[in-house]
Amino acid sequence: MNIKSTILIFVVIVLSRLTLIGGEGMWIPMLLQQMNEKEMQEMGMKITAEDIYSINHSSLKDAILLFGRGCTSEIISKDGLLLTNHHCGYSRIQKHSTVDHDYLTDGFWAMNKAEELPNPGLTASLLIEMKEVTDSVLAGVDENMTMKERQNAIRNNVKRITSNFESDSKYKAAIKPFFQGNEYYMMITEVFKDIRLVGAPPSNIGKFGGDTDNWMWPRHTGDFSLFRIYVDKDGNPAEYSEDNVPYHPKYYFSISLDGVQEDDFTFVFGYPARTNEYMPSYAIELITEIGNPKKIELREKRLEIFNKYSSKDPKVRLQYASKHARVSNYWKKMIGESGGIKRMKGIKAKQNFENEFKSWAVSSGNTQYASLLPEFERVYKELTPISVASNYIMEAGMAIEIIKFANSFRKLVALSKANPINEDAIREEITKLKRSTHGFFKDYYKPIDEEVMIDMLRLYDKNISTEFKPSFFNTIDAKYKDDYKAYANYVFTKSIFDKEDKLMSFLDNYKPKWYKKLLKDPAYIMGMDMGVLYNSKFGKKMTTYYNAIDSLQRIYMKAQMEMNPDMRFYPDANFTLRVSYGNASGYSPKDAVYYKHYTTLEGIMEKEDPNIYDYVVTDRLSELYNNRDYGAYADKDGTLHVGFAASNHTTGGNSGSPVLNADGQLIGVNFDRCWEGTMSDLMYDSTICRNISIDIRYFLFIVDKYAGAGYLLEEMKLVKSE
């Protein structure tokens, strides 16, 4: 592509947004036929929109499930074998892990169905049908309503519609807004409740590169885990039972052994979580130039402390593995997001579009449209200091584990202060708190939390004005002379929340009048002070501002669609099933550098470093590499491909999503995006935004050759072109 063409595309996408190019967009599957099928087929797709989404016969959608609350998964066998990312199954693998049976480190493989491990509370949700219900949801709603009146009317309509449906159905129903509340769709789902762990590679494979490589390309991570759906003997979803049987799906994916070539058509089918593609420049500025830098600083400090202690003690490493991953994931994403917007001059591009919008709005004669951008500017200006301080409450204050945990006892205090006292309710709450106490201390290390408290308080005090500081800072100032270490020592010495045995004894012998002891506990006081501050300074104001933004954004979205009637708009992600499509493609992150679209096992061996945890290679994988024992999973060039990059528009929630070829066959599992393109949640740039996936052949290789669990492949459908 020449420079002139590149500039033209950028102008079209970012400034006027009159058209879209292949790569951008998260499309509603039920609308593919009318909006996308022609373009997808011109790009190389060989199947139809009906093959992807159908309510009349089995289709690709019948093999895709929302995994837990935040990932996607896909069915890859006749016996309900469920494939997702290693990081999506990470917390479940961790829960099954002990020092003696460290499945995170060593991996886990059930060699028969009897060895598969149950996961109480884990669900997988299958979309049965999607219906537009805009008219029903907005019945009785008019533009003269206040925001609260509008929300109440919509909430009542949604409750009525879903209740009426569920009363006559075995399925669940949920209604979500699209296009900022200009349209509404109902998702009808079947929820499976018996999901068992089947297999997971060791972290040296499933998390190879760790936090060092997170959000990066080239990537060499075998990011997958295997689960299985079980149902009752009648084929219905059921809670775990030894009598349950494997689920036999309407559809499961064929798995292609052909590999992925440059420019091959690819599409991702999954549950993207959240994007904000249509916001004004003021919002982008608040996120990328003000909010992100401050949150990055706070998370960076926490990660530094985690690493300091985890590197010294294997038990601590296990305890904080999942916490470290959660903190690190978004930390690095924010860095890339802010950098990407800066690199593509995203704020200026938004401002240029807004200048066009202002002219159009005036010419349209619509005074409401003409006042939108000045009102956006006012709201975001007033919101900014409150938003920053609120972020410090969450990212600094509630990052202190003992405070967040102490905060969970607020209900017990409220029940104990009630008149009359409900003894049954108190006993029920104590039972819950005992369970959560055990879970909390299982993965808690006091020295880490104490050091986090010291540094978080120091940064809070330094960067936030007195107006937005919890009252315990007065104590730190007056009594401890800003000695955060001395204050932290006081909290951890005097608090009941720092030792499991002490807290369990308190709960075992609890009497309602003991709530007064909690009110005097320094950790509980800190949480209470932050709650009081939030309610008095942030809560209502932020609700008011965000309600105003939601209202403005709804109208702004409607106006943009009127301004560009020929444009194909896609709705922002909202954890509903979507299709994104593009091409397998490398990219150039900077001058004189080009990344090809795939990586190989050679890259793993090049990175190998036994002294760096992220780059340790297991003996078994080294053996297979040295012998070039790749079996049927080698590429035609003789190498074993590990991952590939493509221009599919993805975000969080797409983790675990199937990546499919032109025939709708499984070629990979999506697990990340390139760091340079993480601004795609706000603005998409086809030249640099890339989703990252594990090559499905590497998954098969690990299951078969590495783990010796090749019996699992017998229930899959593997296909290869002649």
| List 54, 62, 87, 264, catalytic entry | 87
Q: In whole angstroms, give the CA distance from residue 638 to residue 452.
A: 49
Q: In whole angstroms, give the CA distance from residue 673 to residue 646.
A: 9
- Number of Cβ within a 10 Å radius of residue 562: 13
Tokens 């049976």: give the residue. Answer: 101
Helix, coil or strand: residue 313: coil
Q: Is 359 a catalytic residue?
A: no
Q: In whole angstroms, give the CA distance from residue 39 to residue 27.
A: 13
Helix, coil or strand: residue 666: strand
Question: What pLDDT shows up at residue 330?
Answer: 87
Query: Who's near 60: CB < 8 A, 6+ residues apart?
Result: 51, 52, 53, 251, 253, 269, 660, 664
And the tokens for 528? 């209470």
Note whether 286 and 666 are within 8 A (CB): no
Note whether 369 and 303 are within 8 A (CB): no
Cα 231 to chain center, whole Å? 27
**What are phi and psi for residue 165, nearest 5 degrees?**
-70, -50
- DSSP conformation letters of 120-144: TT--EEEEEEEEE-HHHHTTT--TT
Distances (CA, A) of 471 to 308, 481, 587: 31, 15, 51
Measure the N-to-C terminal CA separation of the chain; round to a whole number of Å. Answer: 33
Q: In whole angstroms, give the CA distance from residue 345 to residue 351.
A: 10
Residues linked to residue 195 through DSSP beta bridges, in sequence order: 229
| List 390, 655, 686, 693, catalytic entry | 655
Q: Residues 545-562: pLDDT tens digits?
A: 999 999 999 999 999 999
And the tokens for 267? 């599409």
Question: What pLDDT shows up at residue 192?
Answer: 98
Q: Is 87 a catalytic residue?
A: yes
Note whether 644 and 587 are within 8 A (CB): no
Question: What pLDDT shows up at residue 613?
Answer: 83
- DSSP conformation letters of 220-265: -----EEEEEEE-TTS-B-S--TT-EE---S---EEE-S---TT-E
Question: What pLDDT shows up at residue 22?
Answer: 57
Q: Is 248 a catalytic residue?
A: no
Note whether 672 and 691 are within 8 A (CB): yes
Distances (CA, A) of 190 to 64, 65, 70, 126, 171: 12, 9, 17, 5, 5
Tokens 């780059």: give the residue. Answer: 615
Q: In whole angstroms, give the CA distance from residue 536 to residue 467.
A: 11
Listed in order, strand segments (DSSP E) in 391-455 are none
Helix, coil or strand: residue 203: helix
Question: What pLDDT shows up at residue 309?
Answer: 95
| List 62, 194, 213, 223, catalytic entry | 223
> Taking the model in full, what pTM does it have?
0.86
List the chain residues with pLDDT less than 70: 1-22
CB burial readout 388-400, b (16+ within 10 A) else e: bbbbbbebbbbbb
- DSSP conformation letters of 596-657: -SEEEHHHHHHH--TTSGGG---HHHHHHHHTT--GGGS-TTS--EEEEEE-----TT-TT-
Question: What pLDDT shows up at residue 539?
Answer: 86
